[in-house]
Amino acid sequence: MTQRIASDLVANVALVHVRVGSSVQAGDEVALLESMKMEIPVVAEEPGTVTDVRVTPGDVVQEGDVLVVID
Amino acid sequence: MPARMPSSASQAASAAAGPKVGREDDPRRPLLRLATFLDDGSLRLLTPQDSSGVLAAQGTVRGVPVVAFASDATVQGGAMGVEGCSVILTAYEKALADRVPVVGLWHSGGARLAEGVVSLHAVGEVFAVMTRASGVIPQVSVVLGAAAGGAAYGPALTDIVILGPDGRIFVTGPDVVRSVTGENVDALRLGGPEPHGRRSGVVHVITETTEEAYQRAQLVCALFGAQGELDVSAVRDRDLIALFPESPKRAYDVHPVVGAILDEGETLELHPKWAPSITTTLGRFGGRTVGVVANNPMRLGGCLDSSSAEKAARFVRMCDAFGVPLLVVVDVPGYLPGVGQEWDGVVRRGAKLLHAFAEATVPRVTLVTRKAYGGAYIAMNSRSLGATRVFAWPGAQVAVMGAVAAVRILHRRRLAEVEEDDRTRVENELAQEHEELSGGLPRAVEIGVVDEIIAPERTRSALATALAQAPRRRGQHNNIPL
C-alpha cells in the first residue's frame, strides 16, 4: 500500500531523515517540521520503502502537502 | 433530512422476496446478537420475536443492568417500519423508567420502503425519543452491518457510536449515489471505518472484530452504569516527567501520559483518529470513572483547531450530563491559525468548547504541564471558565503567547530599526524584560488563575484530592451531537 505522508499544517521543514530507498518501520520519524514554535515529528504509519522525497530542509509546506511517499 | 432515506438496494430485494424467517445458524439473528452482547443467562425479551425487524431485551453487561435492541437484518435487510420502530420506543421507555444505559445493535437499510411515509413518521418518533433520553441515560450504538438513512441518524443521535468491521454508515447507499449523481463509490469508501474514523467524526470507536465491538460497548455501559467511588488512598503517585522530552519545544505523544494518570486497566479513547490534536478518553481514576481531555502535541503541535475543539466540547458535555468528573491535561501552543481554519468555522466551533466547559458542573480539574497560551489557554478549562482547581508544573508557561512572539508585536517598530545582525539579541532582551513584567507562572498564581504549582511526581495525588473535595454535581442538559 502506498503511504503519502503529508503535512497536517503550514510548517517549515527542519529535517528530513530519509531518502529514496530508505526502509522505514511503523512509527519511525521521517521528517521534523517546525510550526507554532514547536518541533513536530512526522512519522510513518506503516513499514515500507521510501519511493519519493518531495521536500528539503528549509522548505515551507502547506497543509496537505506530501512530504514523503512510502511503498 | 434527505428525501431518499429508504436507501438500501438489499432492502428492495428482500422486500420483493417477501419476509424471510432467519435460519437458526444465521449470525445476523437479533436474538443471537443480543444474547452475545448481554451477560450469559441475563437476557429477558421485552418484545416478541416476529417480523417487525427489531427485537428488544433487558439484561446485564458486566453485571450492570441495561436495555438493548437489535435490528433484524434477516427481514427486509433490517428495514424499520412502524412495528420495528415501536419496538425501539418500548426499549427506550423501559430504559428511561429504569434509568439504565440503552444499547442499539444496528444493521438496517433504514425506513421500510413498502410502508411509505408512515415508516418515515415512525423513524422520526425514534429520533424524538432518543433526543428525549439524551443526557438522561447513556445511549450506545454498535453498528454491525450497513446502517443507512434513518438507521444512520439513529446511531448518530446517541452518545457513543461503535463501528464493527462490517459496519457501514451512510445517508444514501452506493446504488442511490450512482443513480442520482453518477458518482461511483463503494460502501467502504462511502461509510466505512476510514471515512468515519478519520474524516466525519460520526464514529467514536472503530474495532477490528465484531467481538471487540461488543466488548467496547460493554465497557461503556460499565463505565457509565457503575461509575464507582473515588478512593484517594488508592491513588499512587507515578513519575510522569519521564514521559516528556527534555526540550520544551519538542512534540511528544500524550497517550502514555493519559495512560499513566489513569488507573491501570481498561480505558476507552473516543475519536482517536479524528481531530487527533486533542485526546478524549474514558477510564478510571482511583476506581472512579473519569473523562480525560488532553492536548496531543504530536499532532498539529497540540494546537486546538475547529474539529478538535468540537470533539472536546461534545466529550465534556457528555461527561457532564452523566456526572463523570473531568481531568484536563493542558499543553497547548494556541489555536491553529490560517485561512483554512477560519473558513472551517474555528470561531463558531471553538466557541463550543468555551460553552461546554463554562456550563459544566461536574468536578473538573486542570493540569498545565508545559504551556497554555492565548485563547486556547482559556478554552482548556481555565479558572475563568470555572475550573474546580488549576494546577501547573514548575516551569509551565501560562501567557497570552510566547515572550518572543509577544515582543515582536509589542515592539515591532523598535525592532524594525535594529540592524538585522543584532535583532535576535535585542528580541531576547526584550523577551526577558517582558517575562519579568508579565510575571510568568508566579504572577499566574498571584492573581489566582493557577491555584498551585505542583511537582510532577505528586500529580496523581493532587488531582485525586482536588476531585474528591469537589461537590458532586451533574449537568442538567442533553448531549446534542455537536
ipTM attached to this prediction: 0.88
Query: Do B435 and B403 touch, CB atoms closer than 8 A?
Result: yes
User: B313, exposed or middle or buried, with CB in 10 Å at 0-12, 13-18, 19+?
Assistant: buried
Which residue among B333, B338, B340 sits closest to A38, beta carbon to beta carbon?
Answer: B333
Rounded distance, CA B370 to CA B387, Å? 18
Determine the Cα–Cα distance for residues B57 and B34; give it in Å rounded to an integer.
7
What angle, 0 to 180 degrees and rounded to 10, lies between the N-to-C axes of helices B403-410 and B423-438?
100
The answer to whether the Cβ–Cβ distance between A37 and B302 falls below 8 Å is no
Angle, nearest 10°, between helix axes B82-98 and B117-133? Answer: 10
SS3 label, residue A63: coil
Closest chain A residue by Cα to residue B335? A36
First-to-last alpha carbon distance for chain A, in angstroms, is: 6
**Cβ A36–B405 below 8 Å, yes or no?**
no
Active site residue B402: no
Question: Residue B70 catalytic?
Answer: no
Active site residue B146: no
A38 chain-B contacts, CB cut-off 8 A: 249-251, 297, 301-302, 333
CATH of A3-70, one of 2.40.50.100, 3.40.50.150, 3.40.220.10, 3.40.50.620: 2.40.50.100
| A-chain residues near B298 (CB < 8 A) | 40-41
Residue whose grid cell is 503550514: A10
Please report residues of B whose CB lies closer than 8 A to that of A40.
251, 297-298, 300-301
Cβ of A36 and B247 within 8 Å? no
pLDDT along chain B (482 residues), means of 10: 44 45 77 97 97 97 98 94 97 98 97 93 98 98 96 98 97 90 92 94 97 98 97 96 94 97 97 97 98 97 97 98 98 92 95 98 98 94 98 92 83 88 88 80 92 97 98 95 96
CA distance A64 to B290: 35
Question: What's the rounded Cα separation, in Å, for the pair A54 and A68?
Answer: 6
Q: Under a CB-based contact definition with an 8 Å cutoff, are residues B391 and B365 in contact?
A: yes
Give residue B23's pLDDT.
61
> In a mutagenesis test of the B interface, which of A9, A12, A61 is the best target, namely the one with the most B β-carbons within 10 Å?
A9
Instruction: Give the whole-angstrom CA distance, residue B302 versus residue A21.
Output: 31
Distance CA A24, CA B339 (A): 34
Evaluated on CA atoms B193, B211, B64, B101, the torsion sign reads positive
pLDDT at B409: 87
Answer yes or no: B251 catalytic: no
Specify the length of chain B in residues: 482
**Cα–Cα distance for residue pair A1/B56, rounded to 1 Å:** 42
Q: What are phi and psi of B130, to 5 degrees?
A: -65, -40
Residue A51 to chain B, least CA–CA distance (Å): 24
- Quick one: pLDDT at residue B148? 95
Instruction: Decide the pairing of beta strands A11-16 and B278-285.
Output: unpaired
- The answer to whether the Cβ–Cβ distance between B250 and A9 falls below 8 Å is no
Test A37 with B338 for CB contact under 8 angstroms.
no
Share of chain A above pLDDT 90, in %: 87
**Count of Cβ atoms closer than 10 Å to residue B300 Cβ:** 26
- Of B247, B300, B405, which is closest to A8 when you measure between CB atoms? B300
pLDDT value for B224? 98
Work out the average pLDDT over A40-65: 94
Report the sign of the C-alpha dihedral through residues B29, B31, B33, B35, in that order.
Answer: negative
Residue from A29, A37, A45 to probe the interface with B (highest B Cβ count within 10 Å): A37
Catalytic hit among B12, B321, B376, B396: B376
The strand pairing partners of B168, in sequence order, are: B146
What residues of A are in the B interface, CB distance below 8 Å?
A: 8-10, 35-41, 63
B283 DSSP β-pair partners: B290
Interchain contact, A9 vs B251, CB within 8 Å: no
Q: In this complex, do B299 and A8 lie within 8 Å of one another by their Cβ atoms?
A: yes
Neighbouring C-alpha atoms within 13 Å toward the C-beta of B149: 29
Q: Which residue of B has its CA nearest to A64?
A: B340
Contacts A63 to B, Cβ<8 Å: 338, 340
> Which residues of B lie closer than 8 Å to A, measured between beta carbons?
247, 249-251, 297-303, 333-334, 336, 338, 340, 402, 405
